[in-house]
Amino acid sequence: MEQYRIEPGKKFKLADFSADDLGDFDGKKQKGNEKLAENRADLVELQELLYSEHKHRLLIVLQAMDGGGKDGTIRSVFEGVNPQGVRIASFKTPTQMELDHDYLWRIHSQTPGKGEIVVFNRSQYEDVLVVRVHNLVPREVWKKRYQQINDFERQLSEEGTTILKFFLNISLEEQKQRFLERLEMPQKRWKFNPGDLAERKLWPEYMKAFEEAIQKTSTKWAPWYVVPANRNWYRNLVVSSVIVDTLKAMKMEYPNPAIDVEAFKKQLAEG
Ligand code: AMP
Ligand code: MG
């Protein structure tokens, strides 16, 4: 899945990444789903390890256009994982209190503690995406934020937080199909937001903002992955594979407290 990781400092063109790409799994959906099931089982175990070891923190950032599948990714990838060890933080239009602080204030307060996995459904990147596209702050203000975000993420990383960032890349046509589905299916209609159609008109501006954000903030300590997301099963496979590989590389072990097991067993045997 390394093919989807954006090399720090290298020129990045979103147009080089197809939303339809299926990598080595082209024509192998069944195999992809088997691998996804394997990843889920691995993740259940790795999360237990992370929690019990109480040493590492894992932060997963999800960004996408509307309909890009952030919710579906969370539902699918974390299926079966102990809900006590995973927290989802969703960032909506900032409240008055959030606006009264700096833009990283609400973000920092939601970062993971030791042993915890936190998934950001939207993130600090909204402040260089929607905020840029809609001129919610002057250019000279958002321009500085790429560096600020890199510094912020580096600090988290130096203090023991592993950061993975995913851009779920759907095409304009796929978004149209998903919006139509939302309109047509009664159980999905609640998700349809008329405002999303206005955002859709700004697609090129958003792509430009995503391209620059990813180019400027894919770092060694917090890499971006551009995930082909037109097919849900492949998107889930890519995201889960990166997470599992990252957790495996931590070489975690269950704590083995120095206690006299035999003595305690004897005590228990005595009633
Ligand atoms: P949803 O995730 O579909 O519930 O929508 C959340 C909305 O909040 C989206 O339209 C985002 O663009 C918006 N949003 C999130 N963060 C910010 C931000 N920092 N500034 C302005 N709008 C934001
Ligand atoms: Mg929405």
Q: What is the pLDDT of residues 65-123, one digit of tens each?
A: 999 999 999 999 999 999 998 999 999 999 999 999 999 999 999 999 999 999 999 99
Rounded Cα–Cα distance for residues 124 and 172 (Å): 24
**174 ligand 1 Cβ < 6 A:** no
Rounded Cα–Cα distance for residues 86 and 78 (Å): 8
Report yes or no: 158 and 152 within 8 Å, Cβ to Cβ: no
pLDDT value of position 51: 97
Atom number in ligand 1 closest to CA 199:
10
Distance 193 CA to ligand 2 centre (A): 6
Rounded Cα–Cα distance for residues 54 and 47 (Å): 11
pLDDT tens track for 220-258: 999 999 999 999 999 999 999 999 999 999 999 999 999
Confidence of residue 196 (pLDDT cuts 50, 70, 90): very high
Rounded Cα–Cα distance for residues 10 and 174 (Å): 28
**127 ligand 1 Cβ < 6 A:** yes
**137 ligand 1 Cβ < 6 A:** no
Distance 39 CA to ligand 2 centre (A): 28
DSSP, collapsed to helix, strand or coil, labels residue 271 as: coil
pLDDT tens track for 165-192: 999 999 999 999 999 999 999 999 999 9
Confidence of residue 200 (pLDDT cuts 50, 70, 90): very high
**93 ligand 1 Cβ < 6 A:** yes
- Closest residue by Cα to atom 14, ligand 1, is 93
CATH 3.40.50.300 fits 2-270, yes or no: yes
Rounded Cα–Cα distance for residues 88 and 102 (Å): 22
Which of 92, 104, 125, 203 to mutate for ligand 1's pocket (most ligand atoms within 8 Å of CB)?
92
pLDDT value of position 58: 98
Per domain, the residue ranges of the chain are 2-270
Strands 57-64 and 161-169: parallel
